[in-house]
Amino acid sequence: MNVRIQILLTQDGSHTLVHPELDETYHSVHGAIQESKHVFIQAGFTKAIGLHQTISLLEVGFGTGLNALLTLNEVNDMNIAAHYTGLEPYPVSEKLVAELNYPQRIGNAQVLKNGFMLMHQIGTGVQHQLSPTFTFEKRSDRFQDFKAEPNSFNLIYYDAFSPEKVPEMWDVSIFKKLYLMMQPGGILVTYCAKGTVRRAMQHSGFMVERLAGPPGKREILRAVK
Ligand SMILES: C[S@@+](CC[C@H](N)C(=O)[O-])C[C@H]1O[C@@H](n2cnc3c(N)ncnc32)[C@H](O)[C@@H]1O
């Protein structure tokens, strides 16, 4: 699935990738880092650390690893314990990852660059200590095939390609499965605010809030179990 994937510069100066077959970018063209910080860090991670002592996080659609890198940066600054599981059935090549400008743009470049490359280099299904309080694991399962115990996660970054391009990733069956994997009080955040997606979440048992989106996007969703 990663044939002919191209790098694109977004409006905040950070890179994203373009998937040619889907004709879709991995992040907002208005700013990849800006969007990831707004949706996943501010609406998700920052909220979760106010509620849970240890963060047990699942990302659906690990992709470039930008959300994981921003989370590692937060964890290092705040000294919070986090276990991060990134699901990615179609990994981005290491060569392409090495060209992405995220470590430089986020700051703390060398430390982050090492962590960023390691995230992509380590094998799947192996827990890796990327910093004293950040444990990282990558899994190659499609979410549909991924198995986890009930109550495994208290934070979900839901970052699949859009419902227009991959409607099966936004089906009620997906949110029911996520709901079962989550701890009570667990939070799910996503960039997508479509009415059908919000209703699928509500139908699965979540309480759903619409929050203001990053530049270029009116709203995003945060769901709580
Ligand atoms: C919007 S991009 C993710 C962006 C990513 N979070 C980042 O920061 O680069 C969607 C990702 O979902 C992955 N994906 C596609 N099908 C999937 C599936 N069935 N389960 C989990 N992930 C999937 C794609 O390969 C792609 O990397």
- Domains of the chain by residue range: 31-224
**Length in residues, the chain:** 225
Express each pLDDT in 91-114 by its tens digit: 999 999 999 999 999 987 777 888
Express each pLDDT in 161-215 by its tens digit: 999 999 999 999 999 999 999 999 999 999 999 999 999 999 999 999 999 999 9
Ligand 1 atom closest to the Cα of residue 16 is 9
Q: Residue 11: its pLDDT value, please?
A: 97
The angle subtended at Cα 91 by Cα 132 and Cα 164, nearest 5°, is: 115
Average pLDDT over residues 208-224: 97
What pairs with residue 16 in β-bridges?
8
Residue bearing the CA closest to ligand 1, atom 17:
142
Residues sharing a CB contact under 8 Å with residue 179, sequence separation 6 or more, in sequence order: 204, 205, 206, 225
Express each pLDDT in 136-165 by its tens digit: 999 999 999 999 999 999 999 999 999 999
- Considering the domain 31-224, what is its CATH architecture? 3-Layer(aba) Sandwich (3.40)
Query: Is residue 94 in contact with ligand 1, taking CB distance under 6 Å?
Result: no
Instruction: Among 24-28, 79-83, 208-212, name the one with the lowest average pLDDT.
Output: 79-83
Query: Is residue 208 in contact with ligand 1, taking CB distance under 6 Å?
Result: no
Ligand 1 atom closest to the Cα of residue 92 is 27
